[in-house]
Every structure is written in C-alpha cells, then in structure tokens.
Structure 1
Amino acid sequence: MRLLRALGALVALTALLLGVPAALFAWGDLGALAPSRWGTLWSGAATAGTVIAVVTLVGWACWVLLMVSTVAEVVATLSGDRVRWRVPLTGWVQPIVAGLLAAVVAGLPGVSSMERFGEHEPMTPPSIAVPSSVAESDVAAAPGSIRSSDAEPSLSSSRSVHVVADGEELWTIAENRYGDGQRWQQIAEANGLTLDSPILPGMRLVLPGVPQAQAVAGPGAPPQSAPDRVVVRAGDSLWTIAEEHLGDPERWPEIADLNRTLIIDPDEIEVGWTIVLPHAEEEDPPSPAPIPEDSEQDPWQAEPTGTPADPSATSTPTTTASPDATGAGQPPSGNTAAPATSPAPPPTQVGPPSARPHSDTDDAPLFTREPLRLLAGGLTAALAAAVSAGLVVRHRIQSDQRDLGRRPVPAGESSRRLEAVWAAQADEATEPSGVTGTTVIVGETLDEQQPVTFDLTGVTVVRGPEALTRDLLGAVCTCLASAEWSATTEVVVVGRGLAWTTALDSPMLRYAPEAAVELRAAAERAHHRRVAADELDADLAEVVVFADLLEADERDLLIEVFEDAPGMAAVVIDNPGRTPWTRHGCVIRVDDEATARVGEGAPFVPCLVGAPARRALIDLHASATTTETTRAPWWADDPPPGVSTIHNPPDILEEASMTAVDAHRDRPTLLLLGPIQLVGTRGTRPSRAVKACEEYCGWLLENPGQSSQKMAQSLMVAEATRRSNMSRLRVWLGADERGQQFLPEAYTGRIQLHPGVSSDWDELQLLIQAGVNRTPSQALVQALQLVRGEPLADAAPGLWHWAEQWRRDMIATLRDIALVLGQRSLDSDDLEVARWALKRGLACAPTDELLLSMMIRVEHRLGNRGEAERLVMLVTRLARTRGYDLRVDTVMLIQEVMEGRIRTRKA
C-alpha cells in the first residue's frame, strides 16, 4: 500500500510539473495580449481569444509557483527540514506539494512512514537551526519532523530536539519535559536564547538532559511503535490521543492517570502540553462505559481489580529511580535495592475521583482525602486553608479599591478550578495548634489526616529526589508566605528553583539568586543577632530557604552561620547521591509522593506543591493583586452627549425590606442576594440535604445544559450522591400548571432547568440590562430592594466553593449600583435616598472605600458629625491595617470633614 501510494503521488506530481506546461503549450494562446491589441482590451471589445489568453497567463503563473514550491520542499526534505524558506504566494499550493512529496519519499526502500509529514503547515516560522553536532536521529519525534527508524543515533540519547507547538513558551516546555519550569534557563543557554527571544510554533529547541523520545506512530501502527510522550495539538482530546497513539480510544483513563500531576480535568487539556503515554504492551484496565442520566450506576466507580479500596491497605509502593541534577537516576535514601525498571501499576480508580463519599446527610464527611489531595495539586487541607484565606483577603482589598464600573481581570479557568478545590479542602482542615512564627506544614498523617507541622530551627536538610524535595520546599515557602502565624517572619528564597514563590506577593518574602552572596549577607545578619540577642523581638524571625544543591564549602559555611544564630533558620535540599551532611539540625526524608519522615519518626504524606499548583498559585495571586481592570459586564459605555438618565426614586423606602423574604412567588426562585433560600416551589421540601439541593439548583442556573459528569466534577460529589440529591430537588421543585417538571429528566445527557425557575440575581440582571450607568434610578432602587445581605451569606462549609467568582461579581455589581444611585441622589439633594442606597451597598461590601467615603459625605451633609467621624476612623484604620494608600479624593474628603477645609497643596 505504501508503494502504491508513492507511485500515485509520483504520477500526480509529474502530471503537475510536466503535464501543465505541456497543456499550456498545446492549447494556450497569449496572442490576444500582444501590445498591438491593448487598445481593443481597454475598449471593452474583448473576444474569446482574450479570455483564452488571460487563462493561459494565469496558468503559467500558477505553474511557476508550483515549481518554486516543489524545489523548496525538495531542499527541505533533503536537509532534514533544517533548510526551509517561505515562498510568497504559495500558501495554497505548498501543502499539496509537501503531501505528494512526502508520499513519494515514504515509498522509497529503507525510509520509514512519514504519515505526520505535511499534516501541519509546512511553512513554519523561522526556526532555530539544530546544531550540526546533533544527529537527525537525536531529534525528538514531533509534528512536522521526519525521522528514519533505521538510523543509528550518533550521539548519546541524553539530549533531544523539541518542536515548539502553538502556545508553548520556554517555561511550559521546561515544566512539561523536566518537571520544573525554572529549568528554562538550560534550554535558553543550549539554544542561544534569552527570556525576551520570540518562541514561535515550529522552532526546534535542543533539550539537554532529556532522553530521546521514540518516533511518533500514526493510526493503526503496531502497539510497540507508540511514543513515550506526545505534544497536544489544537483539537486534541484524551480520547483522540488514545485512539491515535494507542489504537484504542477507551484507554484515555490510562493517559489521565500517568499525567495526573498535569491533567486536573480530563475534559480540558491545553495545546503545547507534553503528555506521557503508557506502554502499549501493558494490559489496559477496563474503562467505564457511558451511563445514561437516569441510571443509578456511578460512572466514576472503577471496575474491581483485586486491590483494596483503602489506599492505606495497599502494598508498599514500588520504588523508582529519581533524577538528580544531571538527570542520572539515584535510589531513594534508605533503599539499597536496585531501582525498579517496570512502571508502577496504574491506580485502582480511573477517571475524575469522587471527592464526597456516598452520603445523603448534611453532617457526613465531605471529602475523601487522597483523591482530593490529587485534585488539589498536592496541597494538604491545612495549607489549602492558609492559601485560601490569603486569597480571600487579597481579593477583598482589590475589590474595595477598584474604580466604578471596572472589574479586575479574573484568573484562568484551570486556576479557578484549583482555587475551588482548595476552598473546599480548607473547610475540612484542622487548624494546627502550638504554632510559632517559623512553624510550617509539611504534610498530613496517614491515618487521621491531621496536619504535620515542623518548627524550623537551626539547619533543616530535606533529603530525597530533587524534584520532590523542591516541591516540599515550595510548600514550606507557601506556608511561610500565607499562614497568619508567620506574618512577622522574614523569608529569603535562594536559587532559581523557587523563584516562582515571589509571585505569592508577600511583603516578608524576598528572592536572592546566588547562594554564595546570600550566605555572606546572612553571616553578617547572624553576627548582629548574636551581638544584640537580648534586645531581639522573639516574633521577628528569619528563614532562608536554599533551593539549589550546595557545594561542600558552602554547606560548612551554612552550618557555621545558622547553627546557633538566634531567630534564624535555614532549609536546604540534598539527594541520596551526595555525601551526607556531617552536621545538621534535622533531616526530613522524602521517599516518594506518598511517604516522608522527620528523622526516624513515623511516616506521613508530604505536602508537595507540584506543577499545576505552582501555576495556579502564580496565576491566582497575580489576579488577586493586579491593578489592571477591564470594563465590567454590568457597565455600559458612556452615553452619547445629550442623553440623560432618569432619576426618579420613590419618596419612601422601607428599611424593613432588607431582611424580608418574598414568599409569595408563584414560580421556584432561588434567593442568592443574602441568606440562600429556595422559595416558590410546588413540591415537598426534602427532610435532608436541603442545603445541597439549593446548591445544585444554583449550579444548574449558572451552568445550563451541562452534562452530569461535568456537574459531578464541579461540585466534587460522588455520582450516586448527585443522583440522590437531584431526585430530592426534582420533587421539591415540582411541576408547572401543565404538569411539566421544573427539573426535567435529562434523557439527552444535558441537564436543563425549566425556564420558569429563576433567581433574584437573574431578576437584578434584567433590571440593569442596559448597564448600571444607563439604568433609570427607579430600576436601581428595585434592584437594591432585592438585597437581604451579602450574597451567599450562609453558604454551608464545603458547599458553593465553585461559585466564588460568581459571588464576587454579585458583590461588585451591587456595590456599583449603590454608588451610582447614591451619587445621583446626592446631586439631586435626596440625602435619605442616598443613605438608603449606600446602606444596601455596605451590606454587601462593608469595607469598600468608595461606599464608605460617599457615606461620610452624606452623614456630613446631614449634620451627623459623630457618625461621620466614626466612618472616618473606620476608613483610616482599614487602610493602615491592610497596608494600602487612600485615594486622593478620600483624603481630601476626610480633611474637609475633620478639619473643615482641604489643606493647601501648593505654596
């Protein structure tokens, strides 16, 4: 078949290159385009001969482009794609030539299949030429590359070439191929790049220390030709990757299991990721078959495999070799056996793990720890609680200082999913006891899942595989930067391996790139601390974390500096392949992802900040601290000149409506703008799981038409629990006058509420659909009358974790409505209406600077000096404790209220 395809391609290519000019010579005629006949052409008296001449001219131009494209593709093929140039105006013909030429070359004896050649646009952007010292056999198989399976590699397999995919950058390539984004510098140095160098799709980058990948096989290839890893392309999914490279699309759970530190949601993978593939000769476990919506079977429940369901009851994990700094494998500490050569068996469970166990009670445990820990990117519940609390504070400060009608740029979808997992995990966390400023969370116990804490004193050595020790150090730095009890502890991170921790935006954390320089500076600080030991504040401690391996002389100096320095501690990493430290304070040994020990103590599950968690921490902290904003979706463009907004608020506003609940609605309505309540239902209220049913209703309102699998993943519930609560919600909602259920059965696999089910948030959006700044004041009053308190005020612990961005948008919208109505009322001297509107806004955002400032102005104009001064003290205290500067307008207002005038700003 390959030979027949090659012969057909050769005939087609020959016909194009030789047949086209022969036909043009035989039937073409350019005589009508002679200069002597140009007058006839311009006069419009064209004949059939003129049309033939034009067609002939176009045909010759196309043939010239075809010939030039063929020459370019031949040169690129003979040079192994190292020599390629872009030919103008050939984008329509060059892919055709590339495909035909690839089929011809593939049919030559001794040449492997080139099924991938030509799948992507051959005209790649200017690429970095592979150094001549790198043989073609050392090029990692990737889209657009050609490789002969019979060629013998001329170099060691410790370096390969990576073809850049769409959306990749040096950081993501290093993170996917090395497991550490900080190693992008190695790629840059090997290819003569800098951080500012453009990285374009199609570029070939030498990856030092990466084992040579196997050739990529096309569909239908023998199982043993499957590659070790594949780069995700546009349109790929785990299903299509498994079908293309493993020959069986239902083996996608194996790929998800092997890449669980990268893939959080199997339904969402990103272009440019490098995904590890399982060996084809392994027997694939049974994959769950699709389950209809009305079935009681749990689609995430794995088939029995003979292994115990309890992770703690499984056998001792297989020890595998771990890479050190040079890429060579070293056995973990304490294990003298040879490293295992066969991969560990896949986990028992396949697909997204269920986080909430099968339980219908509200007081049942919400999460099973191990699956949730995998979803959380390695963060334990206690550390997730510290991170979540810090993000909440940052978002609140950011929201309180934003301009009217603006919205902070939200984090990416994958980061928001991890934030939701951390929020859910934090609700189940046990707060550590007896903590000090240098206490860090290093893991959780195996049995009761209680936090394992460690007090950093002197020198602490973290020993184990380099990647795992760095992940544990990442957890240490995250804890020191996020935990409330470490607010006065200064943290110094040394080395490129943990430079990402600066994104945590802690004022007490700083970065130092060179260990030698920081050691000398630490020695001076330690000397001053020893001299003034009696005068030191016990709460002002310092921890220096070294992310890179230290040399022997640096280790000796480190011990000398930190061994007895008051209030100072150091954390360093080491691996089993190096000479053990002769003196140190304590050793934390990381055996694998599931086991670590402090000294010779009991084993515990280490807290490891892996690649997904690192990306999420960087993204979430950046979005929570950025001052960049976009126009809010509830805000319209400024109205054109001459267009005014009607201001006609009512004369009387009922204060009692703040806590009133409209129970006379004739259709099911979920009240979200305050304590959560589902009113207007026509069925029987369930006797249990009421809060869960309300959450399900809210999720369906915000995510209409989604699948049951997506719902289970987002809510982090077991499928059986989801079905039980959906049945309760269906009965509770009831049916309309025509007997149609408000929660119909999802026979199509997509869940959709009846159009008659709504929420007070939907009602508010209808009132302001023209934009808050263009909505008449009467409609703004109606919108604020829906407010009964802070949105989702009584969300139960562990519930509504998916709705954090939704809740922020509700608060921001209500705050802007209150400000607009308050300003209009001030301008028209309706002070009581302004006060009423601002109280409604402050019920949602009690620390917002603009709301408090406008309330100060209202109380000042009403003559309530005592209340105005109280609000002034509140505003200034918030700015001082949170560490931000007040707006210029706020400062001038405070001067006017407190001093009777605005201070002179110019001499």
Structure 2
Amino acid sequence: MAHRTPAPVRALGAILRALLGACALLALLAGVPYLLLAVGHQPTELADGTLNLLQQDDGTLFFVVLTCIGWAGWAAFTLSAALEIIALLRRRTAPAISGLRSLQSLASFLIGGIVLLAPTAAAAATGGPAVAATASHAAGNSAAAPSPASTASPPASEADQDKWPEHTVTSATELPWDLAEQYLGDGKRWKDIAALNPGLPQLAAGDQYLPVGATIKLPADAAGTGDSGQQHTSQTGTPPTSAELHTSTPASKGRAEEPASVTVQEGDSLWTIADDHGDPKDWPALYEENRGAPLPGGGKFTDPDLIHPGQKLALPPQLTSEPPSSSQEKEEEKEQPPAPDDKDTTKAPEADPGTADEAPETAPDASAPGTPAPVPSGANAPTQTAPASSSALAPAAVWTGAGALAAALVGTLATRRVLQQRRRRPGRRIPMPTGRPAATEQGLRAAQHPSGFSLLNATLRTLALNAAAAGRPLPALDAVVLHETKVDLHLAEPQAPVKPFTATSADQSVWTCSASSADIAEPEQLSETEMPYPALVSLGWTETGGHLVLIDLEHIGILNLDGNRDTARQVLQAIAVELASTPLAGHLELTALADTAPGLDTAAPERVARIADPSAALTEVAAHTADQRNALTAIGAETLRAARLLDDAAGAWTPHILLAQDLPGDATNSLLDALTAEPRTAGAVITTHAAAALPELTWTLDCPDAEQPIVLPGSHLPVRLQGLADEHFADAIDLLTLAASDSDVPAPTWPTDEDDAETSASSPVPAPSPPPADERDDDLPGEYAEIEEADEPGTPDSERAKAPAKEQPQPAPGKPDGPTGLTLAEVLAEPGEPSVTAPLPAPPTVPGPPTNAPALQPQESLVTAPTGPTVLLLGPVSVDGAAGRIDSSRRNAGTELVAFLALNPGVDHHAIDDALWPGRLVGKEMRNAVVSRTRSWLGKDTDGHLHFPRVQDAGDSRYRLGTQVSCDWTRFQHLARTGLAHHDEDGTLALRHALSLVRGRPFGGIDPTRYAWAEPAIQEMVSAIVDVAYELSTRCREASDFPSALWAARRGLLAAEESELLHRQLFLAHHAAGDLEGLREAATRLARINEQLLDGADMEAETAELLRNLLPRPTARTR
C-alpha cells in the first residue's frame, strides 16, 4: 500500500492553502482596484479628448491606456470569481467562458482553498484523524473481478445502486485519495471512484474533503480494511451488467402510474435517448417531461443541452416502448440533429460497462471453417473494461505493451505450424488451441511488433560488421531502447560511435540509429554475420513513451529480481518465455532449476532443459563458463565481445542461462564469482531469491507491488517491468506445446447444401482455363506461381494489385525435433547405379466428404457472373466489385470488417470490437464510423438493397452481409465437397474450379498486427487447399493428364509452398511425363525453399527416399 500522509499534516496544509488563497483573493479583488485608483492614470485625465492624439505625448496617454488594461483584467477576474462563487453555492460546475479559462482556473483554485477551511477547522477540533469506520463486501470474487483502472465504469441506475459496494462518509477530513487507498490499495485510483459518483464535485476535484453523510459507490473490486463499522454493500455483491445500465426501467407493479425511466450514460444526449426508445425528433417531449427535475449533485434540470451521467429521465408516453435490443446498443450512425447540441459534463471516451475477467469457457472448433476464431457473441458475450491488474485482464489486453515477447511467441508458433503442416496427413488437420489459449493467441497477434525485431537485428548486425572492419570491440550495453523508427544503445562506458549508430559530442554514452539510416547493411551482408548480442531480452518499457527496453544478460551476468515475490516470479516467467522463443539469438541454452518456469522444457525442448538437482545445474553452468574462458585464452581474445567478431569463432559462444527461482546457498558462491570474473563469458543467472550473498556486480531490481517504475542500474532509465501472471504463462506454455505436437486431428465436416444454399445461389465461380503450354513458366510468388488471368476470381482493383508479397514465416528459433531426412545434395551425391524401378510409395488416400454430398449440377451452373461484391480471402485479402467508394487510408479497416463478417455472420458489436480492436476499449462512435463507411463502400444491389444491411433491419439485431455478397472461401468449400464426393470427370472439374479460386496464401499480405482473429481460418484454408490440390493432382496423374497434375500441385503450393506432400506430387508428375530436367529443377526449388523457409530445415525422409528412386544417381568413373 502506498504511503499515507498523516491527517494532521494534511489538515495543516489545507489551512495554509486556505489562508494563502484568501489573502491572494483579497489582494486581487480589493488591492488591485486600490492600486489602480491610487497610482493609475484614469481616462478623465484626457480632458482635451482628441486633441491629445494630435499633440506630442508626454506619457499621459500611455499610462491611461495601461491603466485601462489593468481595469479590464481586474473586471475579467472579478467576473470569473463571481461565476465560481455562484456555481459553488448552486453545487454546479461553472460555465466555461472562452478567453477566461485561465482566470477561471485561478479563481477556482483560490476559492476552493477557502472552502476547505471549514471542514479543516472541524477536523482540528477532534482528537485525531477520524477514519470512516465502515467496511464493504467485495463484489463477487475480488480475485477475478476486473477493476476499472484506466477507464471509468459508467454509473449504475438508481435501481441498481445496491449492487455496488458503498461507503458512507463519517468524517470531515476524508479525501478521495483516502478512500482509494483504503478500499482499492492505491490512492491513485481515486479517479475510479470519482467516475462512479459524478454527482459529487468534491470527488471530481480530487483534493477536496468529502461531505459528511454522503454515500459513495465503490468499484467492484473494493475490499474492506476494517473489521467494524456499518456495511453498505449489497449482499449480492454483483455490479450491474451492461444490459442493465442503459435500458428503460419500467414502473413496479405497485406504482403502475409512474412512467418508465432511463438513466443517462456517458455520451448520451436527449436526441440519442429519444432515438433509442422511439423517434429522435421527440426529444422536446422528453425534455418537457423532465424539466425542473432534480439533478445529481444538486440543482434542477433546465438546460436541454446539458445532461449528466447518472441523471434519471422519465420517458413520455410516446417513448415508453422498449428499445430494439435490451442487451445491445444501437449500432448505426445517427444523423446529427440541428438541436440540441450533444453536450455532456464528461469528456471521457465511452466504454461498455461490464467485466472481462476471463476468456470464454468454450470456443468454436478450431478447425471449423465457418467459425475461425473464438469470438464471443450474443447476450452472454463478455463486455470490455479496463482492469487494474494483469490477473483480471482479458487475454488481448494482457499482452498490450509486450510487443517483443508477443512477436517472439507468434514467430515461434508460425514456424512450428509450418512444420506441422509439413507432417500433416492428407485429410487431417493440425491441432489448434481453443478456449482461453485461443483468446490469448489473439491477444498476442494484436500486440506483436515484428518490425521492431527486424530493425534491432539489422542495426546490431551492421554494428558488428563495421566494428570488425575497424578493429574495434563491441561496446558493453547497459540497455537498449527500441522506438518505432530508431534504436538507442545505452553504453556502459562512453565511446565514439560506430556506424550505423551516431552520438552527440556532449553525450557519447547513448548511440542512436534511425530506421532510415543509409548506413544499415544490405540483407545479403547481414546474413553472413551472427547476432552480436544473442542474450538480449526485453525487461519492460520506458515510463514516458512506452518504448521497449532490453538488457544484455551476458553483460549483466547475475540478475536478481528482488522485492515482491509474486511480481518477481512473473517478471522471471516473462523473461523465460521470451528467451525460449526469441528469434534474435539463433540458438541459446536455458537451464530451468527445479520448478522454475514449469512446463517450459516441454514447450521448448530445443532450448530448455530442466534439472532438479541444484548442484548438478550449478556444475553445468560452471563447466560452460570454464570452457568458454579456456576458448578465449586459446584464441587470444581479451573479451567475449571481441571474440564474437572473429571469423573462426562462429557458433562457439552460445549463451547458457540458468533460471532459478530459488538459488541455493551451497556451491553458489564459486559459480557467481566465475560468472562475474574477467574475461566474462556467455553465461548468466536469473533468480528471485538467493540464499548466499550476491557479488557487488549483481544487478538487483526491486520489483514493486504494483505498476510502479524502477530505475535500471547504469543507464538510470525509469522502466515499468513486464511480467506474466501464472495463468497467462500457462496459456503461453499451452500454445507452444500444442504447436510442437506431432499428431494431427480429424478434419471438420464439410458444409452441407443446406448450410451454403444461400451462398451458392449468389456466389460466382470463374471458368477454368486449360493448363498452359509451358508448365515451367513460373513467374508469381512462391516458386510455383503459374496462374492464368482467366482463372482469377475477379478483377483486382489498384489497391489489391499493390498488395505486398506473401509474408514469410519468421525464422525458427532452433532446429525441429524428430527424425529428419537428407538434403538434396546428400540425395544426389550418393554413388550407384540408376534405380527407377524400385517400388514407389503408395499415395495416401484423402478421406472423402460426408456421404450426403450433393449431386453435381450442370457445368454452366458453376460459372455464374458475380451479382455483388466478392470477398477474396484465398490470397491477398480484398473486396472486389464494391459499388461505392472509400478513402484509401480507411480501406484496411473496412476490408477487415467485411472479411470477419464473411466468416462470422450474425455477430453482435462485442464480437466486432474483440476482432477488430482486441484488448482496446472502443466507443460506439469509432465502431459506427467504420460500419457506416463500409456500408457506403459496399453500396446497394440492383434492387436497392444494401449489401451491408443496417442492424435494426435484421430480425435478431446482428451484423451480417447481404445475400448478394459472395466469398471465395465459401465457394471453395462447396466445390471441394462436391468434387471429393464424385470420382468422375465432373468431380475433377469441380476440384479444378475450387483450385482456380486460389491466388496465394490465404490472408496474404496483411498487416501482422491486424486480423488477429483469422489464424484458425488461415490454417484450415491452407490444409483444405493442400488436400484438394493433392487429390486433383493424383487423379490427373493416374489419368495420364500430366500437365493438369502439375497445374494442380503448383496451384496448391501457392497457398503452402512448404508442403512436401505437394512437392512429391510434382516429382511424380515430372517423372511420369519423362521430364527429367523438370524433376531436377523441382527438387532444386524444394531444397532452396527449405533453406530459406525454416533456416535450413532438412528434407523429409519420405521425400528424400522418393527422390532416390526417381533421380538417376551419379556413377563412379572408371579409368
């Protein structure tokens, strides 16, 4: 708990402030006019009028003008003071007058100090500081209830006031800070209490004493600190839901004559309330119905332009009807009325009240094509709030700010899923997370900043290149600060910078490199250089600006996380997960001692080993340190940083880091001394508790109880630490473990005719073209990018034509586990006689679709012209055929919304918020703007119907696209199901139609921080495309249609160029066609893809064996 200033000291400060304020106010109101009259020059001195302007001025005119300016200033201040006094007496906020804001602020400050004098005198008469002897029940389970830390929850209606914890003021010296400190554990959260009680101006001010007897609502996570006193919390202890906060409250049965009422929320106006309950033009009737009614905090309702949150309005008869949906806000943009103006007393951004303390317990099938993400919707969907602690945060919000950690995890997941797709059997699917881990992954994808890794990697490798060329060692780093467009290095010792970094002559301890620097080396040069600081790990972010801060564990040697044990453990867990997945290091070794970071060795076995015996772990680290120190001596390098620049030292300096939550005392001293001795080695220890005394060079970070900044040693940077609570650490472990699984799961059931009847009636499919004459004319991304323009599902607009190339999976942090095959060079280098008669492996069978597959329709039904916009997902995401226009800077949000609705029809606004803005509180103004622009962009059909209907036009008040909007993925599913069910010419034609829709990797070219919801859909699409391509290629090869077999395999490789299943289909088709040169080229391309895609992954054993059988082997020459 924060330090609490004693009440006598606060009382003395308030008295001094009041006395000084009174003196200053008296001087300004009475002293200033006295001085102007005594020493000023009044206008009456200009008796001659205009003659004074024609004569030489003796100074009189100047002083008169100066005096008039003084009178004008005094009058303005007097007016401001009068307004403040009147507003204070009426318990209202003084109206803001343009041009007088600074004077009004000064008057408010001085008068407020005087007002505090009365309660302070009452407090001085008591024997000691009187603290309210009250207690409150925590609403629900306080451990899981989110606390509104950054966004104020809207006030509840009067009918629901008993559902909030309450506190009754019993002392004249209670301050808002005191209440926050007593009930919430942090005085800085007084703003949360003020937001729940807009009718108390003393709470809004923050530094005024609270009126005795006032009942104050507290946040849901408030906890009592005393064990006596009156309790004002309801027994239910449950805060009102969002559905209860903004719905009309009908009169009770016993008071049927009373009209229905509504409670004003932030952002409301009479126009919007009237619109919610009938016709917005009836707002004058709403005003007349409530004119003169008492206002929260005092006063009467007399201004229709000024309504207050928490104010209760009675609805006139014409507005007593229920709103369209009691659990959902109206989602459409409203035409701005001419009057009244939407003025509110609060300017805070609108937030949906409610809780988001946990992810949905269940989620749709991860492999279900129609529901790609675990998106909550409906009446039971959790609403968003901004909690104060990470333990109560929704998964998407937890990872906000942890950009490096999130990017490392997402990169590792992408790499492992590529490997899983390579191992997957035809007709099966890779396992995908569900429930809370799935929601956590969505949060990771929204928070990641992969471009930061690229910039950091490029600048540091360039530094290593230039330092080696100049014969200078690498500098020791105290910290690295990663900005959006630059990198700052905080050096342990100042020195002249090395390119690409620069420094000012006044301070050479901080080097800076901009992302636009021309001195950054080319990628070809960087690939020949190892990462000079492989043990860099993010620790948190700067206090100002929120920039990522990284530290070099090799330079630190020993990192001791002291202070609060829970916070220290969470920081250690965050560091451990990032070290296990970071792409910066290339490779490093981690040893987890005993139960430190549980499960990490299973999730990342290529990097992490677990040792239960402390002495064995210490011995292993000590041996690693001794070996590297001997190696430094052998090559004559003075420091580890100098050794890293040597050409013959590649791979010799792998970091070894010990993770020890509790570091034992036995044999620890010798290890710690070895780590800190010179020359330093690539080893480090991270601990949260050490039994033995730590060396002086140890970095000890005092982890605070809450989100308080710490100061880093050396750089003296104020940093907020990042940590992973136990449940979020468990989510990360579950994600990594599942992505490393060797097993696959059954494929989902293909949609039936009833499921896609509506789509198939309006979804066009292009006519396929015959295979091209030259099957080796490859000119599109992915090595096998051979597509005819006639096969394109639509004409791409200019924006889609400029879409970036398909993004590559991030480099693997380590070699994959399990048996691997040979490289192409090893396959071709084995001497022996040609052997092409060996039995070839039988192709696996693709499981067919359900037996209720539909009968094939005539061919012309498969080639229908588009009648509306087409959502293209099987390649770069775009919307083709939109009838309207949209600004290019706003197209991305509209495209993502359309893509989300194409895969998730019938969702509410909560699901849209979670998908497009995960982890953020989004007001309806932002959402409505995106919805409205997208609706205008899609336009109308020939009958005048909107392609994106308004939500109130839907019977269930949900969002969905119009029936004339088609989607290539929906058509692909329908055609694939039909083609797989019919092993004849028509079925083969249906499969070809399906593959003709594929233009590249699904959702290619997207911003990696957007479409966080789409990963399950992407993996399902990739699996389905590969299966269809495999089946079609097999059919065509067995029918001796080798050009079509090659076309099908290459089409599938557009979506998954890493699929060796399809590469094997290429090899078999080339061999069957007698095209030995084409077979060699295809094998060479696969080898090149493996080298680039997975940082040198080996060819699968089945592929290597197939090539041995198909390719003639070189024979040994005889003399």
2:675 matched to 1:562?
yes
Cα deviations by residue, 1:365-396 (Å, 9 ceiling, x for unpaired): xxxxx999971347611221122111111111
2:719 is matched with which residue: 597, 601, 604? 604
2:927 matched to 1:722?
yes
Match of 2:116 in 1: none
2:1072 is matched with which residue: 851, 861, 873? 861
Distance (whole Å) between structure 2 residues aligned to residue 538 and residue 462 of structure 1: 32
Shift of 1:351: 5.8
2:872 matched to 1:758?
no
> For 1:510-549, what aligned pairs fall within 5 Å after superposition?
510-533=609-632, 534=634, 537=649, 539=651, 540-549=653-662
Match of 2:330 in 1: 292
> For 1:164-313, what aligned pairs fall within 5 Å after superposition?
224=137, 278-279=222-223, 289-290=245-246, 291-294=329-332
2:746 matched to 1:631?
yes
Match of 1:890 in 2: 1103
Structure 1 counterpart SS, 2:947: coil
2:801 matched to 1:652?
no
Larger CA deviation: 541-550 vs 475-484? 541-550
Distance (whole Å) between structure 1 residues aligned to residue 422 and residue 450 of structure 2: 29
Distance (whole Å) between structure 2 residues aligned to residue 544 and residue 689 of structure 1: 46
Cα pair 1:430 1:451 within 8 Å, conserved: no
Cα pair 1:544 1:569 within 8 Å, conserved: yes
2:536 matched to 1:439?
yes
Match of 2:190 in 1: none
Distance (whole Å) between structure 1 residues aligned to residue 1003 and residue 540 of structure 2: 32
Match of 2:910 in 1: 709
Q: Give the direction of change, closer, same or farther, for the CA distance of 1:604–1:656 in structure 2 (3 Å limit).
A: same
Q: Give the direction of change, closer, same or farther, for the CA distance of 1:769–1:865 in structure 2 (3 Å limit).
A: closer
2:438 is matched with which residue: 411, 416, 433? 416
Aligned partner letter, 2:697: H
Match of 1:315 in 2: none
Cα pair 1:634 1:768 within 8 Å, conserved: no
Shift of 1:793: 1.7
Aligned partner letter, 1:740: H
Match of 1:769 in 2: 977
1:677 is matched with which residue: 878, 887, 895? 878
Q: Give the direction of change, closer, same or farther, for the CA distance of 1:703–1:589 in structure 2 (3 Å limit).
A: same
2:576 matched to 1:477?
yes
Structure 1 counterpart SS, 2:596: helix
Distance (whole Å) between structure 2 residues aligned to residue 461 and residue 483 of structure 1: 21
Q: Give the direction of change, closer, same or farther, for the CA distance of 1:752–1:441 in structure 2 (3 Å limit).
A: same
Distance (whole Å) between structure 2 residues aligned to residue 353 and residue 493 of structure 1: 36
Structure 1 counterpart SS, 2:951: coil
Aligned partner letter, 1:730: R
Structure 1 counterpart SS, 2:599: helix
Structure 2 counterpart SS, 1:740: coil
Aligned partner letter, 1:872: A
Match of 1:396 in 2: 418
Cα pair 2:164 2:239 within 8 Å, conserved: no
TM-score by length of 2: 0.47
2:687 matched to 1:573?
yes
Cα deviations by residue, 1:113-138 (Å, 9 ceiling, x for unpaired): xxxxxxxxxxxxxxxxxxxxxxxxxx
Cα pair 2:587 2:607 within 8 Å, conserved: yes
Distance (whole Å) between structure 2 residues aligned to residue 228 and residue 278 of structure 1: 11
Distance (whole Å) between structure 1 residues aligned to residue 723 and residue 1082 of structure 2: 45
Distance (whole Å) between structure 2 residues aligned to residue 789 and residue 524 of structure 1: 50
Shift of 1:472: 1.6
Long gaps (5+) in structure 1: 1-221, 233-238, 259-275, 298-302, 310-349, 356-369, 638-648, 903-907
Cα pair 2:673 2:695 within 8 Å, conserved: no
Shift of 1:769: 2.9
Q: Give the direction of change, closer, same or farther, for the CA distance of 1:709–1:823 in structure 2 (3 Å limit).
A: same
Q: Give the direction of change, closer, same or farther, for the CA distance of 1:512–1:728 in structure 2 (3 Å limit).
A: same
Shift of 1:443: 1.4
Structure 2 counterpart SS, 1:724: helix
Distance (whole Å) between structure 2 residues aligned to residue 224 and residue 792 of structure 1: 49
Q: Give the direction of change, closer, same or farther, for the CA distance of 1:579–1:593 in structure 2 (3 Å limit).
A: farther
Structure 1 counterpart SS, 2:1002: coil
Structure 2 counterpart SS, 1:604: strand
> For 1:114-193, what aligned pairs fall within 5 Å after superposition?
none
Structure 2 counterpart SS, 1:750: coil
Match of 2:195 in 1: none
Structure 2 counterpart SS, 1:383: helix
Match of 1:696 in 2: 897
Match of 2:563 in 1: 464
Q: Give the direction of change, closer, same or farther, for the CA distance of 1:282–1:781 in structure 2 (3 Å limit).
A: farther
Aligned partner letter, 1:549: D
1:587 is matched with which residue: 681, 692, 700? 700
Structure 2 counterpart SS, 1:532: helix
Aligned partner letter, 2:572: L
> For 1:840-879, what aligned pairs fall within 5 Å after superposition?
840-876=1051-1087
Distance (whole Å) between structure 1 residues aligned to residue 788 and residue 567 of structure 2: 58
Distance (whole Å) between structure 2 residues aligned to residue 764 and residue 228 of structure 1: 47
Distance (whole Å) between structure 2 residues aligned to residue 510 and residue 286 of structure 1: 48
Aligned partner letter, 1:772: L
Aligned partner letter, 1:391: L
Q: Give the direction of change, closer, same or farther, for the CA distance of 1:621–1:502 in structure 2 (3 Å limit).
A: same
Distance (whole Å) between structure 1 residues aligned to residue 597 and residue 583 of structure 2: 21
Q: Give the direction of change, closer, same or farther, for the CA distance of 1:223–1:477 in structure 2 (3 Å limit).
A: closer
Cα pair 1:589 1:598 within 8 Å, conserved: no
Shift of 1:615: 2.2
Match of 1:364 in 2: none
Structure 2 counterpart SS, 1:615: helix
Distance (whole Å) between structure 2 residues aligned to residue 248 and residue 400 of structure 1: 58
Match of 2:505 in 1: none
Distance (whole Å) between structure 2 residues aligned to residue 847 and residue 225 of structure 1: 54
Aligned partner letter, 1:854: Q
Aligned partner letter, 1:464: G
Q: Give the direction of change, closer, same or farther, for the CA distance of 1:588–1:438 in structure 2 (3 Å limit).
A: same
Structure 2 counterpart SS, 1:497: coil
CA RMSD for the aligned pairs?
4.2
Long gaps (5+) in structure 2: 1-134, 146-152, 167-179, 186-219, 225-230, 247-328, 336-343, 351-381, 461-531, 636-642, 644-648, 753-766, 773-786, 796-864
Q: Give the direction of change, closer, same or farther, for the CA distance of 1:712–1:304 in structure 2 (3 Å limit).
A: farther
TM-score by length of 1: 0.58
Structure 2 counterpart SS, 1:463: strand
Match of 1:40 in 2: none
Match of 1:739 in 2: 944
Match of 1:159 in 2: none
Shift of 1:842: 0.8
Match of 1:44 in 2: none
Distance (whole Å) between structure 2 residues aligned to residue 658 and residue 530 of structure 1: 65
